[in-house]
Amino acid sequence: MKLRRVTAASAAVLALAVAATACGSDDKDDSSGSSSGGGNKKITVGIKFDQPGIGQKTPQGYTGFDVDVATYIAKQLGYSEDQIQWKEAKSADRETMLQRGDVDFIAASYSINDERAAKVDFAGPYLLAHQDVLIRADDKSIKSPEDLNSKKLCSVTGSTSAQNVKDKLAPKAQLQQYPTYSACLTGVQSGAIDALTTDDSILAGYASQANFKGKFKLGGFKMTNENYGIGVKKGSDLKAKINTALEKMVSDKSWDKAVEANFGPAEYKNEPAPKIGNIVK
C-alpha cells in the first residue's frame, strides 16, 4: 500500500510538471510572433536621417526615396508602417550595425562595393547613382574633376567618395571628413570648403531645398557609378526576400512613383531601375 501511495504521488507530480511545461510552451509560442511580423513584432530598419530626398527625419516623420523603398520592402515582408522602427545609420556605422544585429536591414544610400560585400550581404541594387560634386552657384573655378586639385573637398566619415576623387582624378585634393553631409554643406556655404562630393542623388536633394535654391549647383561630372543596395547581415535569408520585393516594386510601378515623388522637384535625371544583381562598374 505504501508503495502505491508513493507511486500515485509521483504520478501526480509528473502530471503537474508536464502540464506546466505545456503551458510554458504555449506562452512562448504566443509571445514570439513570426518572421512575417505578426502582433506587436517590429522590424528595425537603418536609414539616413539627414539626407533630403533620400532619408530625412522631420517633425512630421521620415521622408525620402530610401524610406519609400524600405517601407515597401517591409510591407512585402508582412510588416505594416507602424511596425517599422527607424534607426539612424551613419556611413561609418553601417557594417557594424548589421553585424551586431542592431537592424534587420539598411537602406541608406548604401553603395555596393567589394570591401563592404566582404562584411555584409546586399540585396539589389535598386538605384544607380553617380558620384558628383556640389559647389557654390557663383564658383567658376571648378569646371572638371581635375579642377579639384588643391581644393578642399568634403565628404562624410566612412564614405569612400572623396578618397575616390583623390586616388583617380585629383591627387592634390585636400580631403576633409565631417560627421554629416549637412556639416559639409554648411562648410561649402561659408567658403570653408570648396566642394562637397557624394552621389548626385544626394546632392540633388540638398540643392533642391527651399532655403538653398539658387545657392548651389551640381558639377555634372558623373565620376563613378554607385549601385545602391539593401544591406543585410551576412548569410541572412532576408536577401532573397528583399530581392523579390524590389522586383515587385519595379514591376508594379511603385519604384517610378517613389523616384518622381522624391527627385522630381530637383529635376534629377535618374537612371532606369537596375536589374537585381546587375552591378554597373
DSSP letter string, 160-229: SHHHHHHHHT-TT-EEEEESSHHHHHHHHHHTS-SEEEEEHHHHHHHHTSGGGTTTEEE-----SEEEEE
For residues 53 and 173, membership in a common domain is answered with: no
143 and 100 inside one domain = no
109 and 234 share a domain?
A: yes
Is residue 30 domain-resident? no
The residues of the chain scoring below 70 in pLDDT are 1-39, 265-267
135: in domain:
yes
Cis amide bond preceding 171, omega within 30: no
Give the integer Cα–Cα distance in Å for 264 and 251. 20
Is there a single domain that holds both residue 120 and residue 231?
yes
Same domain, 56 and 192: no
Cα(178)–Cα(6) distance, rounded to whole angstroms? 76
Per DSSP, the three-state class of 240 is helix
Domain match, 178 and 232 both: no
**For residue 92, what is its C-alpha cell?**
561609418
For the chain, what percent of residues have pLDDT higher than 90?
A: 66
Regarding whether 122 and 241 lie in a shared domain, the answer is yes
Name the pTM for this structure.
Answer: 0.75
Task: Determine contact, residues 177/157, Cβ cutoff 8 Å.
Answer: yes
Q: Which domain covers residue 211, as residue numbers? A: 130-218
Question: Do 65 and 192 have their domain in common?
Answer: no
Does residue 84 lie within any of the structural domains? yes
Query: Could you tell me if 117 and 230 lie in one domain?
Result: yes
Let me know: does 134 contact 218? Beta carbons within 8 Å. Answer: yes
Q: Could you give the number of structural domains in the chain? A: 2
Same domain as 181, residue 149 = yes
State how far Cα 31 lies from the chain centre. 29
> Tell me, what CATH number does 214's domain have?
3.40.190.10
Domain-embedded: residue 279: no
The reply to whether 142 falls in a domain is: yes
Instruction: Say if residue 134 is in the same domain as residue 124.
Output: no
**Residue 265: what are its φ and ψ, rounded to 5°?**
-60, -25
Residue 243 within a domain: yes
